[in-house]
C-alpha cells in the first residue's frame, strides 16, 4: 500500500534556485526518510528524520516534519545540474513493530535542474 505521496510530481527550476518538494502520509510513523534516484540507478539514502524531530539539515538539504499535518518537506538549496533526479519519501509505520517490512515509499518527485 502506498503510504507517502510526493508533491509536485515533477519540478523544473534553474540552476542556483532552491527546490522544495513535499510528502504527505496517512498513518502515524516512527520516522520518515528521503531518497534520491538517478535515472536507471538504485535509490540513495539522503536523510532520516524521526517522529520527535521537527527539522534536520545535511549539507544543502533541509528536511522538516510536521506530524500533526502528517507531512514533510525536502528543501535543496543552491541547486546544481547534478541534483537532477527523482526524490522519494519513505515512511516507517508506527505499527510496523520495528520490523524490516515497515518502510513504505511514495511515487516520487522528478526534479530537473536547468543549467
Partner 1 sequence: DGGITQSPKYLFRKEGQNVTLSCEQNLNHDAMYWYRQDPGQGLRLIYYSQIVNDFQKGDIAEGYSVSREKKESFPLTVTSAQKNPTAFYLCASSNFRGTYQPQHFGDGTRLSIL
Residues contributing to the site for partner 1 (CB under 8 A): 1-2, 4, 30-31, 33, 40-45, 48, 50, 88, 92, 96, 98-108
Q: How far is the CB of 78 from partner 1 (least distance, A)?
A: 24
Return the number of the residue (34 or 79) whose C-beta is nearest partner 1.
34
State the minimum distance, in angstroms, from the CB of residue 99 to partner 1.
7
CB of 16 to partner 1, least distance (A): 28
- When the beta carbons of 62 and 107 are compared against partner 1, the nearer one is 107
Q: State the minimum distance, in angstroms, from the CB of residue 44 to partner 1.
A: 7
Is residue 42 a contact partner of residue 88, using CB atoms and an 8 Å limit? no
Choose between 15 and 105: whose C-beta lies nearer to partner 1.
105
Judged by beta carbon, residue 79 or residue 86, the one nearer partner 1 is: 86
Per residue, what are the HEC states of the chain? CCCCEEECCEEEEECCCCEEEEEECCCCEEEEEEEEECCCCCEEEEEEEECCCCEEEECCEEEEEECCCCEEEEEECCCCHHHCEEEEEEEEECCCCCCCCCEEECCCEEEEEEC
Amino acid at each position: 500500500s502506498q503510504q507517502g505521496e510526493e508533491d509536485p510530481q515533477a519540478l523544473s527550476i534553474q540552476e542556483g534556485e532552491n527546490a522544495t518538494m513535499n510528502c504527505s502520509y496517512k498513518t502515524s510513523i516512527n520516522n520518515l526518510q528521503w531518497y534520491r534516484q538517478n535515472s536507471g540507478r538504485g535509490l540513495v539514502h539522503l536523510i532520516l528524520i524521526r517522529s520527535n524531530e521537527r527539522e534536520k539539515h545535511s549539507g544543502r538539504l533541509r528536511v522538516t516534519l510536521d506530524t500533526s499535518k502528517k507531512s514533510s518537506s525536502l528543501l535543496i538549496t543552491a541547486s546544481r545540474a547534478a541534483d537532477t533526479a527523482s526524490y522519494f519519501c519513505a515512511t516507517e509505520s508506527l505499527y510496523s513493530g520495528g520490523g524490516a517490512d515497515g518502510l513504505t515509499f511514495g511515487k516520487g518527485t522528478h526534479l530537473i535542474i536547468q543549467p
